[in-house]
Structure 1
């Protein structure tokens, strides 16, 4: 295996592990308010701006079917509602209700405390640099995928 293949594999394995670690943290933060990490993820995507299911899926990097299932569960529990979408008649917009925004707000203190612990452990400058590098990696992967799709 070439050095570049080793780098790609190492990045992928590390990101897979990080994903699991972040999901574990998110589960711990969301559970006390009666949510799962997946519920919080979808709610968080629509707390400020309504989005169609496909838009949430693209933003979060999960399947449209998974988002639809979670959005339907959240709608049944009164956390989100579906609104007409002026841009697309069949793809309704998902938006957080007052109850959904309140649930996300209740996660806030524990979320802030964990963010403080993490940033203190890494240092604020290094935490910001990690975030920039992860965004850059994501943007690059997105660009490469778009180039492949455009072949």
Structure 2
């Protein structure tokens, strides 16, 4: 398990560096791209705290990124009918266009990464990582309660 975790750390660092290079021409970083993707994936506008939860990230870090995206016109804030102070984050047209451009850069690269890998192996790796993620989330919840 230790070898898996150490490999996961290294792969994560390499993936973030790769993502930064990939989307740099669009004025994005991997972190900004992840936040945009989380907004796109949500079924409705969400406050920063929910985006952070979906990312498994620190709320303050996501707030900083959202503020940067807002300054660049990629997201906007809308009133939240359920919470006066927790505004909803909404992608602007420019934000959607930027995200779509990032995906156009990403798709051929990820397809090349998948070459030579059996779909069953990709699915197995995904299941293992999802199981590890759920255990870590459960451990973090338990740690926060003690």
Normalising by the smaller structure, the TM-score range is: 0.7 to 0.9
Partner of 1:68: 63
Q: Which runs of 5+ in 2 are unaligned?
A: none
RMSD of aligned alpha carbons: 1.7
Which of 37, 40, 45 pairs up with 2:33?
Answer: 40
- Normalised by the length of structure 1, the TM-score is 0.85
Q: Spell out structure 1 runs of 4+ moving beyond 6 A.
A: none
Measure the CA separation in 2 of the matches of 1:28 and 1:75. Answer: 22
Matched, 1:136 2:131: yes
After TM superposition, the structure 1 = structure 2 runs for residues 58-97 of structure 1, keeping only pairs within 5 Å, are 58-97=53-92
- Is 1:56 the counterpart of 2:51? The answer is yes
Q: Where do 1:13-28 residues align within 5 Å?
A: 13-28=6-21
Q: Aligned with 2:124: secondary structure? A: helix
State the SS of the aligned residue for 2:85.
coil
Partner of 2:113: 118
Residue 141 of structure 2 is aligned to residue 146 of structure 1 = yes
TM-score, with structure 2 as normaliser:
0.88
Separation in structure 2 between the aligned mates of residue 78 and residue 89 of structure 1, nearest angstrom: 22
